[in-house]
Amino acid sequence: MTKSMNIEYKAGMKCRCGPPMRAGAYKNWNWCKMCTRIYTKDTQRCPDCRQPLRVKGKNQSPSAKLTRLEREAKRIAVQADLIAWQRAKSI
């Protein structure tokens, strides 16, 4: 059974895994991981449990925005630098 696509999301609604993508996700909502409720962006702490709200998704780190080739190139450069440092240290 599929969910209805025309749900009207409101502050305080329970969402098990964070704000839904069709509701605008973290662009429009903050999420409390303790009580699994969503709140508007102007709310910084959960009114129920007073915990800080998650304001962006977990995959928003700078390394997550790089492509696979960029990550591999960076990893190879770091390894080459480490090998050069170890050779210089052993001399």
Please list the pLDDT of the chain residue by residue as tens digits (91 residues): 566 667 888 888 888 888 888 888 888 888 888 889 998 888 888 888 888 888 877 666 666 677 889 989 999 999 999 999 999 988 7
DSSP element (H, E) containing 30: strand 29-32
In this structure, the strands spanning 29-32 and 37-40 are antiparallel
Distance from the Cα of residue 44 to its chain's centroid: 16
Domain boundaries of the chain, sorted by first residue: 8-59, 61-91
Give the single-character DSSP code of 53: P
Provide the whole-model pTM.
0.55
Q: CA–CA separation, 71 vs 77, rounded Å?
A: 10
Pull the structure tokens for residue 5.
Answer: 């696509």
